[in-house]
Amino acid sequence: MTIEQLKALPKAELHCHLDGSLSREFMESQLGRRVQPEELSVSDDCTSLAEYLEKFSLPGQCIMDEKGLEAAGYDVLRTMSQENVRYAEIRFAPLLSETSGMNCRAVIEAVLKGLERGRADFGTEFGVITCAMRHHSQEDNSRMIKTAREYLGYGVCAADLAGAEAAYPMAQFMELFQNTRKLEMPFTLHAGECGSVQNIVDAVKAGAGRIGHGIAMRGHYNIQKELADRGIGIEMCPISNLQTKAVNSPSEYPIREFLNTGLKVSINTDNRTVSNTSLTKELQFIQNTYGIQEEEIRLMMKNAVDTAFATDEVKARLYSELGIKG
């Protein structure tokens, strides 16, 4: 497919971080100054996840009040609509924006307000995934998830676990997500991005409906087959994964392996601004690098809708818009 065809293709995205996907225009309006490209995005020679994460400081400063959070929600849907993303699940960590004057509930409501305004203006359907952070206490993460659960079906669609995976393995969060499951709150979990394959095994054991990244499954065909059989979604973010050195080189990236095993792979941006990417760019990259065919791109869009934390009504509409059979 040409770049124009990829851009025009109706798309669904499941793994996009709000703070890593804010436009330069938004940040300049919030900060009241010019922002240089190197302040926003990693360079082609990014060496590690730690270097990658340095780029989150600036956008983090822009979402510390209700006005900034609402504008951020609107901004990300505006950007997505420019490349015909019809459905997006946007994730963020409410506790990172809490202040003495703005509690978790106010943070979530501000983002939802901006996203709802964006949906009205741009027609992109959304769901919010609230991220627990690995470095936060179980008490704080539990409090956030219980608060977010009140908004399930009212904009919030799921929970997640994000942060430094290698330092905080999934085994430390089993109780938190067993409790989340008891609340009947769906969740996806970052696992196997830079850690051990055991994090993926534990995430599935905890009840994750999807896995964020999942790269550590490479070569573990028995685990891949189990997840394929269970229909668990794998949210792959190719450009980000290469930038953070989840794999050492493009030749080691397991997208073809995962597709061949029958895993429900979707393609995502992770962080549009930090990675200087878009869904169109991701699709063009995998097409050019891995020989991904048009029917495989359409299959991965179907996988995204199949594994989305959306209502049956929204899914039916998306299958129709994307021209695929549910």
Side chain identity, residue 82: Q
Q: What is the mean pLDDT of residues 53-71?
A: 95
Q: What is the pLDDT of residues 242-299, one digit of tens each?
A: 999 999 899 999 999 999 999 999 999 999 999 999 999 999 999 999 999 999 999 9
| Lowest-pLDDT range of 46-50, 127-131, 146-150, 217-221 | 46-50
Q: Which residues on adjacent β-strands are paired with residue 13?
A: 88
Residue 201, pLDDT score: 98
Q: What is the pLDDT of residues 2-24, one digit of tens each?
A: 999 999 999 999 999 999 999 99
Q: What is the pLDDT of residues 171-200, one digit of tens each?
A: 999 999 999 999 999 999 999 998 699 999
Q: Look over the chain and give the mean of its residue pLDDT values, rounded to a whole number.
A: 96
Q: What is the pLDDT of residues 75-97, one digit of tens each?
A: 999 999 999 999 999 999 999 99
Residue 155: partners with Cβ closer than 8 Å, 6 or more residues away: 112, 115, 116, 126, 127, 128
If pLDDT is split at 50, 70 and 90, which confidence band does 325 have?
A: confident
| 326 contacts 15 by C-beta, under 8 angstroms | no
Comparison of pLDDT for 44 and 162, the residue scoring more = 162
Pairing of strands 156-162, 264-267: unpaired
What does the alpha-carbon distance between residue 126 and residue 112 come to, in Å, rounded to a whole number?
10
User: Does position 326 have pLDDT exceeding 90, yes or no?
Assistant: no
Q: What is the mean pLDDT of residues 227-241?
A: 97
| 19 contacts 63 by C-beta, under 8 angstroms | yes
Q: What is the mean pLDDT of residues 219-226?
A: 97
Residue 176, pLDDT score: 98
Q: What is the mean pLDDT of residues 55-63?
A: 95
| 146 contacts 130 by C-beta, under 8 angstroms | no
| 16 contacts 268 by C-beta, under 8 angstroms | yes
Residue 189, pLDDT score: 98
What does the alpha-carbon distance between residue 197 and residue 216 come to, in Å, rounded to a whole number?
5
Q: What is the pLDDT of residues 99-111, one digit of tens each?
A: 999 999 999 999 9
If pLDDT is split at 50, 70 and 90, which confidence band does 49 have?
A: confident
Residue 320: partners with Cβ closer than 8 Å, 6 or more residues away: none
What does the alpha-carbon distance between residue 308 and residue 177 come to, in Å, rounded to a whole number?
19
Pairing of strands 210-213, 125-133: unpaired
Q: What is the pLDDT of residues 123-174, one digit of tens each?
A: 999 999 999 999 999 999 999 999 999 999 999 999 999 998 989 999 999 9
Catalytic sites, residue numbers: 193
Sign of torsion over alpha carbons 86, 128, 94, 52:
negative
Which two three-digit tokens encode residue 111? 């983002």
How remote is the C-alpha of 174 from its chain's centroid? Answer: 21
Which domains are delineated in the chain? 3-318 (3.20.20.140)
